[in-house]
Amino acid sequence: DTEVTQTPKHLVMGMTNKKSLKCEQHMGHRAMYWYKQKAKKPPELMFVYSYEKLSINESVPSRFSPECPNSSLLNLHLHALQPEDSALYLCASSQEITRQQYFGPGTRLTVT
């Protein structure tokens, strides 16, 4: 099984809402990533977890809060977002950091 799943596929939220994005993999990978992608741009790294510990935080605003409850799950908690945060949010995993990455289908987020 080389699949990374993400839920929900689409999310529309107001600026005062709190929501969470979920990512799951069952490949035994120990590194998991969150990326943000705006239209016609490359993915931008947000966070990296390695062995369930936050390894890299790319100076992401605190309205984005990552969580890695176990080695298979990665969450991204959202609160007080801005319209400019609307984007495709991609989750990925790899056996270790710098190994081959596998991406989920993404969550298309719209902030109104």
Partner 1 sequence: GIQVEQSPPDLILQEGANSTLRCNFSDSVNNLQWFHQNPWGQLINLFYIPSGTKQNGRLSATTVATERYSLLYISSSQTTDSGVYFCAPTDSGTYKYIFGTGTRLKVLA
Stretch that binds partner 1, among 20-28, 61-69, 71-79, 95-103 (CB under 8 A): 95-103
- What is the smallest separation between the CB atom of 100 and partner 1, expressed in angstroms? 4
Q: What DSSP designation does 15 have? A: T
- Find the binder of partner 1 among 13, 45, 73, 80 (CB under 8 A): 45
- Write out 61-96 in H/E/C secondary structure: CCCEEEEEEECCEEEEEEECCCHHHCEEEEEEEECC
Given a contact cutoff of 8 angstroms between Cβ atoms, the answer to whether 31 and 47 are in contact is no
Q: Which residues make up the interface to partner 1 (CB under 8 A)?
A: 37, 42-45, 48, 56, 88, 90, 92, 97-103, 105-106, 108
